[in-house]
């Protein structure tokens, strides 16, 4: 899953005005992947290219105990929630931030081949939806489409910025699905992944700054700082 990971970010911002900014939630949605790719560059976690390992991509994610184990994901979620609480002193915002971080593991469990662990070792888990392209594509588009529609319904402001965000997200997803896959797991591949996350997150901060939750009125509109 790629842009589908951002669906919980859009949904959280749609649920309540107390949720963090959309850009902050985009960071939460891919926090463990940010960490994973940085750890790959540092030689702490590892992946390799194995053509045909799944029907949709060739990534063998064989060593990611810190970022993608269930225990690791819970730790990242709690850590992110703590940071949000320290900045905002808002337990609702902290809770939603943590939920969005944790959603990453759940969505990975649905789509990945068995490469996820509970605590970094032992049995591996994953339902393997990547081996069923039609179902995986349908799920990803349904998640992001439904969450985006809900976000628009629950917020107000100009429509163009969020549409630009969605358009760029769909473009990156199309490249991921239909473009040439990476030939090796090198720094270039990792850099391109991180660049795509950075672009979408920057656009989310921009689009989110132009809209506010329908429950927000008066002087409080647009005052969130995290």
Domain spans, the chain: 3-209
Its pTM surpasses 0.75 = yes
Instruction: Report helix, strand or coil for 148.
Output: helix
Identify the three-state secondary structure at position 155: strand
Say whether 219 sits in a helix, a strand or coil: helix
What pLDDT score does 221 carry?
Answer: 52
At 217 the three-state DSSP class reads coil
40-79 per-position pLDDT tens digit: 999 999 999 999 999 999 999 999 999 999 999 999 999 9
Integer Cα distance of 71 and 210 in angstroms: 36
The pLDDT mean for the chain works out to 94
Please classify residue 206 by burial: count the beta carbons closer than 10 Å to its beta carbon, then call 0-12 exposed, 13-18 middle and 19+ buried. middle
Sign of the alpha-carbon torsion through 16, 78, 70, 113: positive
């Amino acid at each position: 899953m790629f842009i589908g990971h951002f669906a919980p970010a859009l949904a959280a911002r749609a649920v309540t005005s107390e949720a963090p900014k959309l850009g902050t939630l985009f960071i939460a949605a891919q926090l463990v992947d940010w960490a994973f790719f940085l750890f790959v560059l540092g030689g702490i976690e590892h992946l390799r290219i194995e053509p045909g390992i799944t029907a949709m991509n060739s990534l063998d994610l064989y060593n990611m105990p810190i970022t993608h184990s269930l225990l690791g994901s819970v730790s990242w979620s709690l850590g992110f929630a703590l940071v949000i609480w320290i900045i905002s002193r808002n337990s609702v915002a902290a809770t939603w931030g943590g939920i969005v971080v944790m959603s990453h593991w759940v969505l990975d469990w649905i789509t990945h081949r068995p490469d996820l662990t509970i605590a970094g070792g032992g049995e591996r888990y994953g339902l393997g939806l990547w081996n069923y392209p039609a179902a995986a594509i349908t799920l990803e588009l349904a998640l992001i489409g439904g969450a985006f529609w809900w976000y628009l319904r629950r917020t107000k402001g100009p429509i163009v910025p969020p549409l630009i965000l969605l358009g760029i997200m769909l473009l990156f997803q199309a490249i991921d699905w239909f473009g040439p896959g990476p030939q090796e797991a090198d720094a270039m591949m990792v850099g391109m992944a991180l660049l795509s996350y950075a672009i979408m997150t920057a656009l989310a901060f921009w689009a989110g700054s132009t809209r506010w939750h329908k429950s927000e009125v008066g002087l409080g509109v647009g005052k969130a700082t995290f």
